[in-house]
Structure 1
Amino acid sequence: MTEQNVDLGKNPRANRIPWPPLLLIASIAAGALATWVWPLPWPGINDGPAHGVGLGFGVAGIALIVWAIITLRKRGTTFLPDGTATSLVTSGPFARFRNPIYLGDALIVLSIAEITHSIWFVAAALLFGILVTALQIVPEERHLESQFGDAYLDYKSRTRRWI
């Protein structure tokens, strides 16, 4: 389902800064730096099935991001975090999650944690989630509410932000 916007002048964009890719890069860099400076023991199991789960998180994250971008493009709206939403997309992965791209990003960082056996990447994923919520998701939700009004509020009431 797609709700077209009729008044792009209300709130032209959620953010001027593309926070999610910047936060993703910073989270991965922080996890790598912390791992190098202060390595901590990995509390997980070091075996094939655990490694498969970690790789599965990464594959799921990439698949979720690609599916979300394709869905947004098909509906004629932006996937850029600093762009202007022209359509309210509630189909594809957006039928289940309001922020599938950011969820995919977090899954990728968690995958890196298992692959590298570094607990710091688990902390980095948590930090990414907190910061992307504060800096991007909350302003994005205000933007979408301004752009789409009751249609967005209805969508928001029936769809989870993360999982």
Structure 2
Amino acid sequence: MSGDTRDHPGVIAPPPLVFAGFLAAGVLADRYVSGWSLPLPALPAKVLAVLLGGAGVIFLADALGLFRKAGTRPEPWQPTTAIVTSGVYRVTRNPMYVGMAHVYAALALAVGSPLAMALLPAAILVIHRGVILREERYLERKFGDEYMAYRARVRRWL
């Protein structure tokens, strides 16, 4: 332990802003620089976008509801008061980020932006390194064995 007594994980940026920044960069680059678009038939692309977006919203809504029920804050720059392990948290330790990634993909698909789609792995990498790994260290430090047992049972992503 480094002697750091902050009661938050010290994430690099709010995760929604990370995803929004990469999405905006890709869409704007496609619109004003590359002129590219995804060569997908309109109806299948829209159906896939709705399915991805719907799945993302379900992940986000369930995760946020469970945080509210547990009386803890979802913002990773705020102190965590409980480990949530029910609902969607039985499937993934990071349902909010899984949900955000799904919504990002849905939006990139809906607007037909190949660069935004290509930037999704970079956004996920930034979330992984700048948010998730920091959160995991924080939760291990704060909750010890309880968090380590949860981490051993449930995958980080899906």
Per-residue deviation, 1:115? 0.8
CA–CA distance in structure 2, aligned partners of residues 135 and 145 of structure 1: 16
TM-score by length of 2: 0.89
Closer, same or farther: CA 94–11 of 1 in aligned 2, 3 Å: farther
Give unpaired runs (5+ residues) of structure 1.
Answer: 1-8
Asked whether 1:158 is paired with 2:153, we answer yes
- How many equivalent residue pairs? 154
Q: Is the 8 A contact 1:75 1:87 kept in 2?
A: yes
Deviation at 1:50, TM superposition (A): 3.5
C-alpha distance in structure 2 between counterparts of 1:115 and 1:16, whole Å: 30
Deviations 1:42-72 (A, max 9, x none): 25x3142342111111111112111100101
Confirm or deny that 1:40 pairs with 2:36.
yes
Give the match for residue 97 of structure 1: 92
Residue in 2 that maps onto 1:72 = 67
2:21 aligned with 1:26: yes
Aligned to 1:49: 44
Q: 1:39 to 1:162 in 2, by over 3 A?
A: farther
Q: Distance in 1 between matches of 2:146 and 2:69?
A: 19
Moved more, 136-145 or 16-25: 16-25
For the aligned residue pairs, the C-alpha RMSD in angstroms reads 1.8
Q: Structure 2 counterpart of 1:153, which letter?
A: M
Gaps of 5+ in 2: none
Q: Does 1:125 pair with 2:120?
A: yes
Q: 1:99 touches 1:161 (CA, 8 Å); kept in 2?
A: yes
Deviations 1:111-154 (A, max 9, x none): 01221122112122211100011111000000110111111111
Shift of 1:161: 1.0
1:81-96 alignment to 2 at 5 Å?
81-96=76-91
Instruction: Give the AA of the match of 1:65.
Output: L
Matched, 1:61 2:56: yes
Aligned residues of 1:18 and 1:81 also touching (Cα < 8 A) = no
Distance 1:84 1:140 in 2: 11
Please give the alpha-carbon distance, in whole angstroms, between the structure 2 residues aligned to 1:157 and 1:39: 46
Percentage of pairs with the same residue: 33
